[in-house]
Structure 1
Amino acid sequence: MDDNKNKYEKLEYITKGICAANKINEMYNSRIQTRDGSSIMPDRLDMLCEMLNIIAQYSPAPQSRLLGNAADKSAKYSEAYRNIKLQINNVRSNGMNIDTVISTLKYIRPLLRGQQLHTIDKIIRVYDIIKS
């Protein structure tokens, strides 16, 4: 009986692997259509996060959680990177003021833990109180 169970588990893993590979292939081959009919590839970081999510979806429970957490963390860091990069470009063209500093802190905030997060929260609260 155990031997049959092992065979079915292996078959299930193989099937899930094939399904995951198919979804990743579909996602990789998809293109975003523009108004003029041309197509562009989605952002590579977004694709990587999506691939991790697909693999996590079809993985056994312990690995699924780890991959899901890695994909979430990757998406969070990617979003923060993009926003901070936009802020830097904004500062280059418009100069720096307190509003840009505070908005940059808000973009960095999701990446922080512990005392750093507590300090940033205090700074933002003080700014909001002064601003109102």
Structure 2
Amino acid sequence: MKIETKFLGEVDIVEEDIYTFENGLPGFEDLTKFVLIPLDADLPLAILQSTEQAPISFVVAYPFAFNPSYAFDLSEEDKQALHIETEDEVVPYAIVTMNDTFDKSTINLLAPIILNITKKCGKQVVLGDSKKYPLHYQIKESVK
């Protein structure tokens, strides 16, 4: 099927690649269907695109590429909401706030997007420790 995207124009997607966010994302609770579109095989970046509204799209990054020590535990409630049975099903992403240049951009390590790649569902989870993982983690710190 074809969808219109904010950054890439019209793209073909497979319906099986659509992730359901049961409660949407914070600020976008009414949007529950998103697709992850890789930007480049060599980059740890992708687009999390709403399939319901083309203007709603987020640049996301694989957080371990920018902070190799990034680690967190999901609550039992989050595991149940995401229907997680094994760790192999879980892939986290972090929303990128783009700036004038990429090295001035930040990623949100405090509230990762958690995808269950087997069950095709997702949720943004707010972690409890804002001192350990900031809302605006400087990408420049990891691109040196």
TM over 0.5: no
TM-score normalised by length of structure 1:
0.25
Give the number of the structure whose alpha-carbon radius of gyration is greater.
1
The TM-score, its normalising length taken from structure 2, stands at 0.24
Looking at both structures, which has the greater relative contact order when contacts are Cα pairs under 8 Å and sequence separation is at least 6? 2
